[in-house]
Amino acid sequence: MLEFDNTERTNLGELGEFGLISYLTKAVEINEPSTLKGIGDDAAVLDFSNKKTLISTDLLLEGIHFDLRYVPLKHLGYKAVQVNLSDIYAMNGTASQITFSIGLSSKFPLEAVEEIYQGALIACKKYNVDLIGGDTSASVQGLVISVTSIGFADEDQIAYRSGAQEGDLLCVSGDLGAAYVGLQLLEREKNIFLENPNIQPDLEGKDYIVERQLKPEARRDIVELLAKIGIKPNAMIDVSDGLASEIIHICEASDKGCKLYEDKIPLDSMTYETAREFGIDPTVCALNGGEDYELLFTIPQADYDKIKGSMDITVIGHITQASEGCQMISKSGKVYPITAQGWNAFKD
Ligand code: ADP
Ligand code: MG
């Protein structure tokens, strides 16, 4: 049940590995000044001059990280790049290159692989990133994608997880929980379709949460905004596994505690309503859902005036001493410990 726009099916065996690589990479452009050599030699060559280099890798496996029954291939290529760039932005850096590696089973025709690449290249173009290499292999079962992203930053601008200070404001960009609720919706429609293939998926009016799941956008704009208003976050992380898990990562790495206020957690109204339809607590979607790819960061209180006008940044709590632990103050004023997998922990 592979879904792709181009209905031709060219068997990968007809091209061979080198034919496939040159076919896939024919549309690749090199635009970044730091790329001295991209695809075509044994290694790419980069020059970051006096900047520090940032590198991050993700591995995406069919059946574990994505389900081809509802993920369009172009979106998959796009998302694979986005989730990786997000890690470079989470260091307060500029992403500049990626490598893109794929393992393909024989069920994949060339046209399907091409769609994955189209999606990946759209993301590269939009975020000013060069695709500088990769690897291509057969896979016995399932599609495998691995992306490595490379970027740079001035040493004194790098934001580590470990830099949070007592009294810092805990801030998050955008809104949370939408990608998780979008996934629940896609799963439900997939199951209905599997039971009765005549029923078309009903995603009417749910564009925002479905897009948040299928087509996330890494927050380069937030990194740029912070630079423009003169803020260097003391600590930063991207929200891939859910707010709770990321808060714990920052607090553990910084040897600090925190207070998170439930009523401050930014939720989109469609996320809220759809979570309720599914009988899930919307706060739990934000805390444990994941795949939001927003940025969670801490800033000194003195910087509050610089962010208070921004619609896209919400203060959700503050950093405390380690001995106070990581706590959430619920809407009704009760205090709960934040745990990485606290599905039922926040029921009043
Ligand atoms: P090697 O045998 O040295 O690994 P390859 O034949 O695998 O070389 O790759 C040749 C060139 O094509 C290299 O520059 C490599 O980075 C690039 N390349 C291979 N696979 C991909 C891919 N899936 N996407 C982009 N570039 C690729
Ligand atoms: Mg190779």
CA of 106 to the centre of ligand 1 (A): 19
Residue 197 vs residues 66, 73, 103, 185, 192: alpha-carbon distances, Å: 21, 20, 29, 17, 8
| Ligand positioned closest to the Cα atom of 39 | 1
- Contact between 286 and 208 under an 8 Å Cβ cutoff? The reply is no
Under DSSP, the state recorded for 278 is: T
- Only one residue has tokens 């879904």, namely 3
- Cα separation, 239 vs 60, whole angstroms: 17
Q: Is 134 one of the annotated binding-site residues? A: yes
Identify the residue whose C-alpha is closest to ligand 1 atom 11.
40
Cα–Cα nearest to 232, from 313, 151, 312, 300:
300
Cβ neighbours of residue 222 closer than 8 Å, sequence gap 6 or more: 89, 173, 295, 312, 313
Tokens of residue 121, six digits: 């290249």
Identify the residue whose C-alpha is closest to ligand 1 atom 1.
42
Within 10 angstroms of residue 197's Cβ, the number of other Cβ atoms is 9
Q: Is 117 one of the annotated binding-site residues? A: yes
CATH 3.30.1330.10 fits 12-157, yes or no: yes
Environment class of residue 139 by beta-carbon count within 10 Å: exposed (0-12), middle (13-18) or buried (19+)? middle
How high is the pLDDT of residue 303?
98
Amino acid letter for position 110: L
CA of 38 to the centre of ligand 2 (A): 14
Secondary-structure breakdown of the chain: helix, strand, coil percentages, each rounded to the nearest 5: 40, 25, 40
CA dihedral 69, 72, 77, 80 (to 10 degrees): -50
Pocket test for ligand 1, best of 60, 132, 135, 148 (most atoms within 8 A of CB): 135
The mean predicted confidence, pLDDT, of the chain is 93
Which residues form ligand 1's pocket by a CB distance below 6 Å? 21, 24-25, 39-42, 100-102, 133-136
Q: What average pLDDT does this structure show over 70-86?
A: 95
Q: Is 65 one of the annotated binding-site residues? A: yes
More confident call, 194 vs 76: 76
- Cα separation, 124 vs 132, whole angstroms: 11
Residue 152 vs residues 93, 123, 129: alpha-carbon distances, Å: 6, 18, 12
CA of 123 to the centre of ligand 1 (A): 20
Within 10 angstroms of residue 181's Cβ, the number of other Cβ atoms is 31
Q: Is 9 one of the annotated binding-site residues? A: no
Closest ligand 1 atom to residue 135 Cα is 20
How high is the pLDDT of residue 4?
56
Answer CATH for 161-337 from 3.90.650.10, 3.30.750.24, 3.20.20.70, 1.10.10.10: 3.90.650.10
- Cα separation, 200 vs 337, whole angstroms: 43
Closest ligand 1 atom to residue 28 Cα is 25
- Contact between 34 and 26 under an 8 Å Cβ cutoff? The reply is no
How high is the pLDDT of residue 5?
63
Q: Is the pLDDT of residue 347 over 70?
A: no
The environment of the single-atom ion ligand 2, i.e. residues with CB closer than 5 A, is: 135
Amino acid letter for position 32: E
CA of 29 to the centre of ligand 2 (A): 20
* End-to-end CA, the chain: 43
Identify the residue whose C-alpha is closest to ligand 1 atom 6.
18
Confidence class for position 16, pLDDT limits 50, 70, 90 = confident
How high is the pLDDT of residue 344?
46
Q: Is the pLDDT of residue 310 over 50?
A: yes
How high is the pLDDT of residue 116?
96
More confident call, 195 vs 259: 259
In terms of DSSP bridges, do strands 35-37 and 130-131 run parallel, antiparallel, or are they unpaired?
unpaired
Closest ligand 1 atom to residue 38 Cα is 14
CA of 214 to the centre of ligand 1 (A): 27
Cβ neighbours of residue 216 closer than 8 Å, sequence gap 6 or more: 79, 82, 83, 86, 179, 291, 292, 293
In terms of DSSP bridges, do strands 335-337 and 326-329 run parallel, antiparallel, or are they unpaired?
antiparallel
Indicate the pTM of the whole model.
0.93
CA of 76 to the centre of ligand 1 (A): 20
Q: Where are the domains of the chain?
A: 12-157, 161-337
In terms of DSSP bridges, do strands 313-321 and 169-173 run parallel, antiparallel, or are they unpaired?
antiparallel
User: DSSP secondary structure string, 173-194?
Assistant: ES--SHHHHHHHHHHHHHHHHH
- Cα separation, 81 vs 125, whole angstroms: 11
Pocket test for ligand 1, best of 12, 17, 20, 21 (most atoms within 8 A of CB): 21
Cβ neighbours of residue 129 closer than 8 Å, sequence gap 6 or more: 32, 81, 85, 95, 96, 97, 98, 123, 149
Identify the residue whose C-alpha is closest to ligand 1 atom 18.
134
Per-residue pLDDT tens over the stretch 169-209: 999 999 999 999 999 999 998 888 788 877 777 778 899 99
